[in-house]
C-alpha cells in the first residue's frame, strides 16, 4: 500500500481476530523478509541506473523506514 502522508510504500497484512502468537510471529517474519527483499531490489536498481563516482548511490533525502 502507499502511505498517503509520506507517499512511501508500506507493507500491509490482514489477520483474523483472534490470532495465535505463533501466527503473529510468522506474519511479522514474512513482512520483515518482504521488506528486506524490497530494499535489496531498490538498492540493486539504484546502483544499476545511477552513475556515481564512488560506485554507491547517494540519496539526498531522509528515507523513512529504512
Bridge-partner residues for 3, per DSSP? 8
What is the sign of the dihedral through the CA atoms of 12, 9, 45 and 66? negative
pTM of the model: 0.59
Is residue 31, in this structure, part of any structural domain at all? yes
Query: Does residue 58 have a pLDDT over 70?
Result: no
Q: Which of 16-25, 40-49, 53-62 has the least mean pLDDT?
A: 53-62
Mean pLDDT within 19-25: 93
Is residue 62, in this structure, part of any structural domain at all? no
Is residue 14, in this structure, part of any structural domain at all? yes
Total domains in the fold of the chain = 1
Is residue 58, in this structure, part of any structural domain at all? no
The phi and psi torsions of 53 (rounded to 5 degrees) equal: -70, -35
Is residue 13, in this structure, part of any structural domain at all? yes
- Please answer whether residues 10 and 28 qualify as being in contact, where contact means their C-beta atoms are separated by less than 8 angstroms: no
The model's pLDDT over 24-41, given as tens digits with 9 standing for 90+, comes to 999 999 999 998 998 898
Query: Does residue 22 have a pLDDT over 60?
Result: yes
**Domain boundaries, position 21:** 2-49
Is residue 63, in this structure, part of any structural domain at all? no
Per-residue pLDDT at 59: 61
Amino acid at each position: 500500500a502507499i502511505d498517503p502522508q509520506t507517499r512511501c510504500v508500506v507493507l500491509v497484512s490482514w489477520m483474523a481476530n483472534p490470532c495465535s502468537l505463533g501466527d503473529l510471529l510468522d506474519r511479522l517474519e514474512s513482512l520483515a523478509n518482504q521488506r528486506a527483499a524490497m530494499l535489496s531490489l531498490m538498492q540493486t536498481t539504484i546502483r544499476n541506473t545511477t552513475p556515481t563516482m564512488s560506485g554507491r548511490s547517494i540519496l539526498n533525502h531522509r528515507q523513512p523506514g529504512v
